[in-house]
């Protein structure tokens, strides 16, 4: 299983646009065959910082996701909405129980 934590710092004036765009990518990503979960969390101390916590079956599923239309569209739009480059940590994990 692959787990990704993608941290995003959104420009305050672009927050509403970001939330609309991210909703579409979440819907499309959750429908992908290799997706286990795809959840957005807002930082309680800074409402312009978000983290997407993703869980995928395997790296092939991540690669398919990264090539998907909904993800490519979001990635292109995000450049204008983010105040800093997206930071992502990728983990290989194993469910223990």
User: Does residue 5 carry a pLDDT above 90?
Assistant: yes
Task: Using alpha carbons, select from 33, 4, 27 the residue that is nearest to residue 93.
Answer: 4
pLDDT digits (tens, 9 = 90+) for 22-32: 999 999 999 99
**CA pair distance 83, 81, nearest whole angstrom:** 7
Which pLDDT score is estimated for 6?
97
Which pLDDT score is estimated for 8?
97
The angle subtended at Cα 60 by Cα 72 and Cα 86, nearest 5°, is: 40
Report the CATH number that the domain containing residue 44 is assigned in CATH. Answer: 3.30.70.100
**Bridge partners, 91 (sequence order):** 3
- Kindly report the pTM of this predicted structure: 0.92
Number of domains the chain is built from: 1
User: Does residue 4 carry a pLDDT above 90?
Assistant: yes
For residue 45, the SS3 value is coil
Task: Using alpha carbons, select from 81, 73, 79 the residue that is nearest to residue 13.
Answer: 81
In contact, 52 and 9? CB cutoff 8 Å: no
pLDDT digits (tens, 9 = 90+) for 9-66: 999 999 999 999 999 999 999 999 999 999 999 999 999 999 999 999 999 999 999 9
Beta carbons within 8 Å of 4's beta carbon, 6+ residues apart: 52, 53, 54, 55, 56, 62, 88, 89, 90, 91
Task: Give domain status of residue 24, yes or no.
Answer: yes
Task: Give domain status of residue 18, yes or no.
Answer: yes
Which pLDDT score is estimated for 95?
85
Range of the domain at 46: 2-92
User: Does residue 97 carry a pLDDT above 90?
Assistant: no
């Amino acid at each position: 299983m692959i787990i990704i934590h993608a941290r995003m710092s959104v420009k305050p004036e672009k927050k509403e646009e970001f939330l609309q765009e991210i909703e579409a990518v979440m819907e499309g990503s959750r429908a992908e065959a290799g997706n286990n979960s795809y959840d957005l969390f807002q930082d309680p101390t800074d409402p312009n910082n978000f983290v997407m916590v993703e869980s995928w079956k395997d790296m092939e599923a991540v690669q398919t996701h990264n090539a998907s239309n909904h993800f490519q569209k979001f990635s292109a739009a995000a450049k204008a909405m983010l105040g800093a480059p997206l930071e992502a940590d990728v983990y290989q994990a194993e469910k223990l129980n």
